[in-house]
């Protein structure tokens, strides 16, 4: 600062002018690496997938370099595949089932933890553990719990005489999807609790105090005060839930691999199988583009509801 007080005003102006031009360049350099990374890791894959979905892109392509254009043939092949309707239905059931329960249980727990009590904060942060574990670790753990003959769940249920025969949680086409949804609910609850809890914390206490004077307590306070004030956060949580859940792959691959008898195939697992098991990259890309399109519809709601949160 001492040095600057000695320079003249005119000199300072000159330095500033020169500096500004150099500075625009410096500012660009702050953003450039991230911009390049985002284009390479998101822009390129999206464009590449669009192109691949219009090509006959298979294992052969890697040797011959030839990927003939086939128009919309890949889309028509995957849509007419006998598994497509099942995969769509499973994706919808998986997404809706997971989110409905994660949200309701998450909201219940968030409301519970709003009560101030000893160890409350510690217990609430420990609750995050299922969300932080690698998904494949959770899958392995649940595989052992749900194991048909010796898993602890069936042993307990039979010990308590709730069921007479072991339930084939992951081995029967009729219950596997329910089991997979159950595990995904377990993984998603902590995330819902954390976000909803922070939404609840932002509702001013005065509102409840004023409500109490008007006789709004308990359930009435929830309906008239809590829910209206939580709506925008709830919207964000639900849309995030959809966008994240619809593309879940790890958990299903780890638990059932899409089986038994394709009972847990979703668009994401089908896309994976087409590309990396059958090496029909064109068809895999077509399926994943359908997935993106669905998520995009939800994202329009999502962006609308998060705009406020981003501006904040």
Partner 1 sequence: MRRTAYTVIGIVILAVMLFPVYWMVNASLQPSGNTLTAGFLPLHPTFTGYKRALDEQGGNLVTSMIIAAGTVVLSLAIATPCAYALSQFRSRWVSIGLLAILISQMIPGIVIANALYTAYERIGLLNSIPGLIVANCSSGIPFAILILRSFMMSLPPSLVEAARVDGAGLFRAFVAIVLPISKNSLITAGLFSFLFSWSDFLFALTLTTKGGVRPVTLGIYQYLGTQVQNWNAVMATAVLSAIPAIVLLVVAQKYIAAGAIGGAVK
Six-digit token pair at 218? Answer: 């308990």
The interface with partner 1 within residues 283-302 (CB under 8 A) comprises 284-285, 288-289, 291-292, 295-296, 299
The interface with partner 1 within residues 164-203 (CB under 8 A) comprises 186, 189-191, 194-195, 198
Does the protein bind partner 1 through residue 128 (CB under 8 A)?
yes
Does the protein bind partner 1 through residue 72 (CB under 8 A)?
no
Residue 192 and residue 102 in contact, taking contact as beta carbons nearer than 8 Å: yes
Distance CA 231, CA 215 (A): 22
Distance CA 120, CA 4 (A): 54
Nearest to 97 by CA among 184, 194, 176: 184
- CB 29 to partner 1: min, Å: 8
Q: Which one of the spans 82-90, 160-168, 207-215, 269-277 is the region binding partner 1 (CB under 8 A)?
A: 269-277
Does the protein bind partner 1 through residue 217 (CB under 8 A)?
no
Six-digit token pair at 288? Answer: 């994943």
Q: What does 20-48 look like in DSSP terms, one character per residue? A: HHHHHHHHHHHHHHHHHHHIIIIIHHHHH
Distance CA 54, CA 286 (A): 8
Does the protein bind partner 1 through residue 27 (CB under 8 A)?
yes
Q: Which one of the spans 87-95, 124-132, 160-168, 207-215 is the region binding partner 1 (CB under 8 A)?
A: 124-132
- CB 247 to partner 1: min, Å: 4
Out of 98, 268, 280, 305, name the contact with partner 1 by CB under 8 A: 268
CB-based contacts of 160, cutoff 8 Å, min separation 6:
none
Out of 134, 210, 214, 301, name the contact with partner 1 by CB under 8 A: 134
Out of 64, 80, 117, 205, name the contact with partner 1 by CB under 8 A: 117
The interface with partner 1 within residues 241-260 (CB under 8 A) comprises 243-244, 247, 249-250, 253-254
Helix (H, G, I), strand (E, B) or coil at 280: strand
Nearest to 266 by CA among 234, 290, 293, 282: 290
Does the protein bind partner 1 through residue 111 (CB under 8 A)?
no
Nearest to 274 by CA among 285, 260, 265: 285
Q: Which one of the spans 41-49, 72-80, 91-99, 213-221 is the region binding partner 1 (CB under 8 A)?
A: 41-49
Residue 23 and residue 43 in contact, taking contact as beta carbons nearer than 8 Å: no
Smaller CB distance to partner 1: residue 126 or 223?
126
């Amino acid at each position: 600062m001492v040095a600057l007080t000695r320079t003249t005003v005119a000199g300072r102006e000159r330095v500033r002018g020169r500096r500004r031009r150099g500075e625009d360049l410096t500012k660009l350099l702050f953003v450039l690496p991230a911009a390049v990374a985002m284009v390479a890791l998101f822009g390129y894959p999206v464009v590449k997938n669009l192109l691949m979905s219009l090509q006959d892109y298979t294992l052969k392509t890697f040797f011959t370099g030839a990927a003939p254009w086939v128009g919309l043939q890949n889309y028509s092949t995957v849509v007419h595949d006998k598994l497509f309707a099942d995969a769509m239905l499973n994706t919808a059931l998986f997404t809706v089932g997971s989110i409905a329960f994660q949200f309701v249980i998450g909201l219940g727990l968030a409301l519970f933890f709003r009560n101030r009590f000893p160890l409350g904060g510690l217990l609430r942060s420990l609750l995050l553990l299922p969300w932080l574990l690698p998904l494949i670790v959770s899958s392995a753990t649940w595989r052992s719990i749900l194991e048909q003959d010796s898993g602890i769940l069936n042993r307990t249920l039979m010990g308590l005489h709730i069921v007479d025969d072991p339930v084939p949680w992951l081995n029967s086409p009729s219950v596997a999807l329910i089991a997979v949804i159950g595990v995904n609910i377990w993984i998603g609850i902590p995330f819902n609790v954390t976000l909803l809890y922070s939404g609840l914390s932002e509702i001013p206490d005065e509102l409840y105090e004023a409500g109490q004077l008007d006789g709004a307590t308990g359930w009435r306070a929830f309906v008239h005060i809590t829910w209206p004030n939580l709506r925008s956060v709830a919207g964000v949580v639900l849309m995030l839930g959809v966008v994240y859940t619809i593309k879940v792959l790890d958990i299903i691959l780890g638990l059932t691999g899409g089986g038994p008898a394709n009972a847990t195939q979703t668009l994401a697992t089908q896309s994976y199988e087409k590309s990396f098991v059958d090496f029909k990259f064109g068809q895999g890309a077509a399926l994943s583009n359908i997935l993106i399109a669905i998520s995009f519809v939800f994202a329009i709601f999502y962006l609308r509801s998060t705009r406020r949160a981003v501006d904040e």
